Amino acid sequence: MTSTDAEQQIASPEDLRTVEALRAGDERVFRELIERYTASMIRVALMYVRTRAVAEEVVQDTWIGVLGSLPRFEGRSSLRTWIFRILANQARTRARREARSVPFSSLAGPGGDGPTVDPDRFLGADHPAFPGHWASPPRSWEGMPEQELLAGETRERVQDAIDMLPASQRAVISLRDVEGWSSQEVCDLLDISEGNQRVLLHRGRAKVREALEEYLDGRAA
């Protein structure tokens, strides 16, 4: 999934075909579309609204809105970007209407900006020779058989770890690492800076790595 750095990706020929098919009433194409994007849309919606139930409603409303807006799709952005922008607008509107929405100040996520690796794993700052170095370093996974990492259960653990992240970290890691969005695309959609996005990605990835390490080390033991 490539994208130009500065601008939104314009609609691909595939995007235009999809829109045409939808306008012609092709139900199969619509089903494929909702299957591809809905889970991600729910995660993004959860950055703005509090409960999953409300997020699901927002996503439903978004799809209705997408259908109604199809005549206005001009292909100046990719179809995906266009859909998610409608979603983001719907989510923000809904959040404003809801009495208790998730304030943007919590975008950094709980835990603020503390260390992402348990400090106990490092030697103290007062260590005479190796301050701040690993006390219990991570093991290399290079010797691990390929199928271990590719196994379904490994993927499940990673998915679980992602699902347990705070909403904004979860959304960013899902868009970036699971779905393959570029940094620019994520920042544009969520209207956050590169720096903010990187912090969310960093914290999310650190937790997922830790969960994966626990799982794999447990198997190796």
Partner 1 sequence: MAYAFTGPGAQRPFAGDRWPEPGTWTDRARASRVEHLPVWIAAELWVVELEGAVHDVGTQLRADHGRLVEQVDGWDGNAAAAFAEDCAARIRAFAARSGPNDAMAAYREDAASLGPADANVAGWVAAHAAAAVEGEDGAVRERSRQAAWLAERLELRADGRVTPRAPARR
Partner 2 sequence: MSEAQGMLSCREVVELVTAYLEGALTEAEEVRFEEHLAMCDGCAAYLDQMRRTIDVAGRLDPKAVDVEACDRLIHAFRTWRAGSEPEGGS
Is the CB of residue 48 less than 8 Å from the CB of residue 61? no
Rounded Cα distance between 25 and 19, Å, is: 10
Residues binding partner 2: number (CB under 8 A): 57
Q: Which residue from 25, 112, 128, 152 is in contact with partner 1, where contact means CB under 8 A?
A: 128
Report if residue 134 touches partner 2, rule: CB under 8 A. yes
C-beta of 154: minimal distance to partner 1 in Å? Answer: 18
The two structure tokens encoding residue 40: 């991600």
Minimum CB distance to partner 2 smaller for 10 or for 26: 26
Cβ 142 to partner 2 shortest distance, Å: 7
Site size for partner 1, by CB under 8 A? Answer: 4
**Residues of this chain, 20-79, that bind partner 2 according to CB under 8 A:** 24-25, 27, 30-31, 34-40, 56, 59-60, 63-64, 67-68
DSSP letter (8 states) at residue 70: G
Q: Answer for the pair 170, 159: CB distance below 8 angstroms, yes or no.
A: no
Residues forming beta bridges with residue 122, ordered by sequence position:
134
Binding track, positions 80-119, relative to partner 2; x by CB under 8 A: -----------------------------------xxx-x
When CB distances are held under 5 to 8 angstroms depending on the partner's kind, the choice from partner 1, partner 2, none that residue 76 binds is: none
**Using CB distances below 5 to 8 A depending on partner kind, what does residue 134 bind out of partner 1, partner 2, none?**
partner 2
Identify what 16 binds: partner 2, partner 1, none; CB under 5 to 8 Å per kind.
none
Contacts of 91 by beta carbon, 8 Å cutoff, 6+ apart: 44, 45, 47, 48, 49, 55, 58
Which residue in this structure is represented by tokens 């998610």? 84
Asked if residue 110 binds partner 1 (CB under 8 A), the reply is no
Q: What is the three-class DSSP state of 214?
A: helix
**H helix intervals, the chain:** 13-23, 27-45, 52-69, 79-97, 146-150, 152-163, 167-173, 183-190, 194-220
Among 132, 153, 193, 220, contact with partner 2 (rule: CB under 8 A): 132
Residues that bind partner 1 (CB under 8 A): 127-130
